[in-house]
Amino acid sequence: MLTIALCLSILSLPDPRPGGSALRSLTPELHWIIQDTAARSATARALIARLGNTDAIVYVERTSSPQVPVARTKLVTSVSGARFLRIGINTAVRFADLGPMLAHELQHAVEIAERDEVRDEDDVRDLYQKIGRARGGDRFETEAARDVEWIVRQELNAKMGG
């Protein structure tokens, strides 16, 4: 569960929808990475906008947790009118890979957030059994997320220095 201290430490992006931000970062570094990725990638901007049209609030964090070897999107909890997701990106991920990895996980957040019926971990598992493929244990992957990661990598590389 998110604590009050954690909630108070969150930096928000400019809000894509009235009343609240769909995407929140936990550090100034991540805030900058989100802004930079969105500024240089139309695909990332579109994903953030799509999240803004849902009831999801997505927190982005860096983690050294062994449960997140590279990155993970998790539905933390849902309440009436809102679902809280957490994107964790491992601290071992290279700086140059953060934007593409963020976009990959934003695609997963959109996959969850645009389905109102997905309200808990069992619903997430059911969703990914339908739209993804198992990667061992309780881990799944989708072609859409892999495609988004590749596209955003190309967009960011094309805008290097520009």
Per-residue pLDDT of the chain (162 residues; tens, 9 = 90+): 343 333 333 334 444 333 346 999 989 999 999 999 999 999 999 999 999 999 999 999 999 999 999 999 999 999 999 999 999 999 999 999 999 999 999 999 999 999 999 999 999 999 999 999 988 777 899 999 999 999 999 999 997 755
Q: Sort residue 99 into left (φ over 0), alpha (ψ -120 to 50) or beta.
A: alpha
Distance from C-alpha of 45 to C-alpha of 60, rounded to nearest angstrom: 15
- Please name every residue paired with 41 in a beta bridge, in sequence order, or none if there are none: none
Q: Which residues contact 90 (CB under 8 A, 6 or more apart)?
A: 62, 63, 64, 65, 68, 69, 70, 71
Distance from C-alpha of 160 to C-alpha of 84, rounded to nearest angstrom: 33
Structure tokens at 131: 């739209």
Whole-model pTM? 0.85
Nearest to 22 by CA among 55, 44, 63, 46: 55
Domain ranges of the chain: 11-157
Distance from C-alpha of 61 to C-alpha of 46, rounded to nearest angstrom: 21
What Cα–Cα distance (Å) separates residue 38 from each residue in 12, 23, 42, 109, 150? 14, 12, 7, 16, 15
Nearest to 71 by CA among 12, 148, 127: 148
Residue 135 has a pLDDT of 81
